[in-house]
Amino acid sequence: MPFELPQLDYPHDALEPHIDQKTMEIHHGKHHAGYTAKLNAAIEGTDHSDKSINELMSSLDMSNGAIRNNGGGFYNHSLFWKVMSPNGGGLPSGSLANAIDRDFGSFDSFKDAFSKAAATQFGSGWAWLCVLDGGKLEVCSTPNQDNPLMPGVACGGTPILGIDVWEHAYYLNYQNRRPDYIEAFFKVVNWDQVQENYDQ
């Protein structure tokens, strides 16, 4: 079964003014669609074609650039759209809030660590909040379309929140002001979804 570009749960303009409509249209309709099509082309007729995206990521041969870049792009963006919502922002609650307090000291300390990881990722990449084996939370970042599920990436665990810091994610609205984009991202984080990811 080929992978399909997931539909957004909200209209392209729903995250305005934090994430602008044009960026959402191009990012989802062109970039994510492109990764999806190229991933399908890369696995067609191979023994990877019946794997789930998670299996594909965790068993990846990192020297396979086509699957690494396009499979990563498919997985990363599929997570990214879900962890944003026009009803997002605010603070996590429940067991996730407790785990953040336990592992970072406070929500503000977590936010600082996550924002710093996102701001200091040199060039293109992602920052993540991950759950390690045993349940501990960790913040880290990866270059390009790598993600923590991939073998040997210096960033482990299962991502439950991620921010895309490629310029295509923010340049139309924020130009070189990546920190402003990161601050805006927190106004649309869908903490209910992050909690669901954490529970899983």
Give residues in contact with Mn ion (CB under 5 A): 164, 166
Contact 32, 101 (CB under 8 A): no
Q: Compute the least distance from the CB of residue 166 to Mn ion, in Å.
A: 5
**Residue 18, CA distances (Å) to 51, 92, 162 in order:** 35, 19, 16
Minimum CB distance to Mn ion, residue 117 (Å): 17
Using CB atoms within 10 Å of the CB of residue 92, give its burial: 0 to 12 exposed, 13 to 18 middle, 19+ buried.
buried
Q: What are the angstrom distances between the C-alpha of 59 and each of 16, 55, 126, 128, 191?
A: 37, 6, 20, 20, 29
Asked if 125 and 153 touch (Cβ cutoff 8 Å), the reply is no
Minimum Å gap between C-beta 169 and Mn ion is 5
Q: Is the Cβ of residue 166 or residue 198 nearer to Mn ion in the bound state? A: 166
What DSSP designation does 84 have?
B
Q: Which is nearer to Mn ion, 166 or 191 (CB)?
A: 166
Rg (CA), the chain: 16
CB closer to Mn ion, 14 vs 97: 14
Compute the least distance from the CB of residue 102 to Mn ion, in Å: 31
Of the pair 96, 127, the CB lying nearest Mn ion is at 127
In the bound state, the residue with its beta carbon closest to Mn ion is 164
**Beta carbons within 8 Å of 45's beta carbon, 6+ residues apart:** none
Q: Give the nearer residue to Mn ion in terms of CB position, either 49 or 124.
A: 124
Shortest distance, CB of residue 77 to Mn ion, whole angstroms? 6
